[in-house]
């Protein structure tokens, strides 16, 4: 399981380090391949085996609404297999950097079975929004049973 927040800078060759904690999870539970795509304003990185599971679930859906097909076109258009190099870095494709508005600094977030890579500025805005309404936060925590 991936959890935690780590802040890094993308180097001049568009590579970013994957946190050692996440690399440990990958090497223990998965192979070291990540599938990156665009989703929810950030780059989402799935371990290859999790991506295969997603593919199977989508394939088993059968007939889909027009909106779902439109979304899947967008979702699949960003897919890139990105192996982790010997120094623990992945190469971020330019199209994904553009989509996520990533210039230099990123927040890498563990989200259970996937990893999210956010532009630092976008992440900070998201945190402000998520924490601005304390009553709503309490409701969500209660709803999730935390």
User: CA 30, CA 104: separation in Å to the nearest integer?
Assistant: 28
Tell me if 77 sits within 8 A of 98, measured CB to CB.
Answer: no
Residue 62 has pLDDT above 80, yes or no: no
The answer to whether 54 touches 92, Cβ cutoff 8 Å, is no
Question: What are 67-78's pLDDT values in tens digits?
Answer: 888 999 999 999
What 3-state DSSP class applies to 47? Answer: strand
- Helix (H) and strand (E) counts in the chain: 6, 8
Q: Is the pLDDT of residue 88 over 90?
A: yes
Please indicate whether residue 66 or residue 137 has the higher confidence score (pLDDT): 66
- Domains belonging to the chain, first-starting first, are 2-144 (3.40.1550.20)
Residue 97 has pLDDT above 90, yes or no: yes
User: Is-contact 105 9, C-beta < 8 A?
Assistant: yes
**What pLDDT is stored for residue 145 in this prediction?**
83
State how far the Cα of 100 lies from the Cα of 120, in Å rounded to an integer: 10
């Amino acid at each position: 399981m991936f959890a935690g927040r780590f802040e890094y800078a993308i180097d001049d060759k568009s590579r970013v380090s994957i946190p050692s904690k996440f690399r440990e999870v990958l090497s223990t539970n998965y192979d070291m391949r990540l599938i990156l795509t665009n989703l929810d304003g950030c780059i989402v990185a799935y371990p290859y085996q999790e991506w295969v599971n997603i593919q199977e679930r989508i394939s088993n859906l059968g007939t889909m609404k027009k909106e779902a097909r439109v979304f899947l076109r967008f979702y699949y258009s960003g897919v890139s297999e990105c192996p982790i190099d010997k120094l623990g870095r992945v190469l971020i494709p330019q199209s994904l950097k553009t989509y996520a508005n990533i210039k230099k600094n990123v927040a890498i977030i563990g989200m259970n079975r996937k990893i999210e890579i956010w532009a630092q500025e976008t992440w900070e805005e998201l945190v402000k929004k998520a924490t601005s309404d304390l009553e709503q936060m309490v409701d969500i925590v209660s709803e999730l049973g935390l």
